[in-house]
Chains A and B, each alone.
Chain A
Amino acid sequence: GAGVSQSPSNKVTEKGKDVELRCDPISGHTALYWYRQSLGQGLEFLIYFQGNSAPDKSGLPSDRFSAERTGGSVSTLTIQRTQQEDSAVYLCASSLFTHSYEQYFGPGTRLTVT
């Protein structure tokens, strides 16, 4: 595809429900990243993948958050038992490799937990 795509673009869910957010990176990009941007806050690193492995999961806020990437392409971020403080825009990015390579961001998924 032409760029990083994310789905859904908007998600409203009730507190306590599970949600899955999807990211389709740019074809051929080996690295994939998840970030969170809360209202009025800067971007917060959650997790990144090099291929299918995640070398650093330290950014995940709690054990309710998990992410996986299969086939070195699509990634899913899952939030279990959502809480109101999970409301944010979740951004995905991909790059050819990590290190100094430019990251290309998707449009984000706006999650609202009511």
Chain B
Amino acid sequence: KNQVEQSPQSLIILEGKNCTLQCNYTVSPFSNLRWYKQDTGRGPVSLTIMTFSENTKSNGRYTATLDADTKQSSLHITASQLSDSASYICVVPGDNQGGKLIFGQGTELSVKP
């Protein structure tokens, strides 16, 4: 069964600290993996899209890694800010056309002052 699992379910960190969120997937065939940020009451916003040939991709203070062999990805947030408080969702297409996305349950990150 195609699945995307994330850990931890929730995380509380102090402003300025770093953190790493994990994503494991069992989707096959694999084409790409996406990380989204969803603020409360808003739609998700894309942070990165990584294909199977990419190991690392950065977007400002966000760095995503991908190991297609072990089917694991991580999202590292550097020097966290209060505005980073949100749900971070790992997503993998579940079909060859890339239209049917399979979402992880998300990691709820709370950055405290």
Task: Give A41 to B89 CA distance when docked, in angstroms.
Answer: 12
Q: Is the CB of A33 within 8 A of B99?
A: yes
Task: Give A43 to B97 CA distance when docked, in angstroms.
Answer: 19
CB < 8 Å A-B pair total = 65
Please classify how large the interface on chain B is, using the bins under 10, 10 to 19, 20 to 34, 35 or more: 20 to 34
Q: Is the CB of A55 within 8 A of B49?
A: no
A42-B104, A106-B43 are known contacts; what are 11 more A-B pairs with Cβ within 8 Å?
Answer: A4-B43, A44-B103, A45-B103, A48-B100, A50-B97, A56-B95, A56-B97, A56-B100, A99-B93, A107-B42, A108-B42
A residues in contact with B98, CB < 8 Å = 98-101
A residues at B contact (CB < 8 Å): 4, 31, 33, 35, 41-45, 48, 50, 55-56, 58-59, 91, 93, 98-108
Most buried by B among A44, A91, A98: A98
Interface positions of B from 85 to 105, Cβ below 8 Å from A: 89, 93-95, 97-105
Question: What 0/1 readout, one digit per residue, does chain B (44-59) give for beta carbons within 8 Å of chain A?
Answer: 1110010100000000
B31 on the A face (CB < 8 A): yes
Task: Give A57 to B45 CA distance when docked, in angstroms.
Answer: 24
